[in-house]
Amino acid sequence: MSVTEKPALPTIASVDRADAHVGKLMSDLEGITMAVERFAGDDVSLEDAVFMTEAGIAVGQPRRDAEPATFARLLVFADELLGDTEQIAELAQRLRSALLLSYREAVIEGGAEEARDG
């Protein structure tokens, strides 16, 4: 940016693109989380297991097969997300603070000056 160039806010389109990426990430993350929870959870509810046991029906759990590398990658991914959330929160706070300050200066105080000058 040159000395004479006015600083500008990001465009609404660029903010909308970033927002869409966050939405996609959240959707993907929810899908991954639900899949892991289904993998880790009981396939038969406690009530059904009691009924089956009382009825003499064997309650078997399906074998859960997964590569150790998949577990490791998912754990690393979860840890990375936890670290990223701290950075995202910090950036969001900086963004919000800068916007509130700029809004006050440009719109509230600037609008008052324009009303006096106009």
What's the pLDDT tens digit per position in 53-83? 888 887 766 667 889 999 999 999 999 999 9
**Model pTM score:** 0.67
What distance in Å separates the CA atoms of residue 65 and residue 79, rounded to the nearest whole number? Answer: 23
**102 to 20, 105, 117: CA distances (angstroms):** 25, 5, 20
pLDDT bin (cut points 50, 70, 90) of residue 13 is very high
Centre a 10 Å sphere on the Cβ of residue 91 and count the other Cβ atoms it contains.
Answer: 10
Consecutive H or E run containing 6 = none
> Which of the four pLDDT bands, split at 50, 70 and 90, describes residue 84?
very high
pLDDT in tens, 96-111: 999 999 998 888 887 6
Length of the chain: 118
CB 39 within 8 A of CB 66: yes
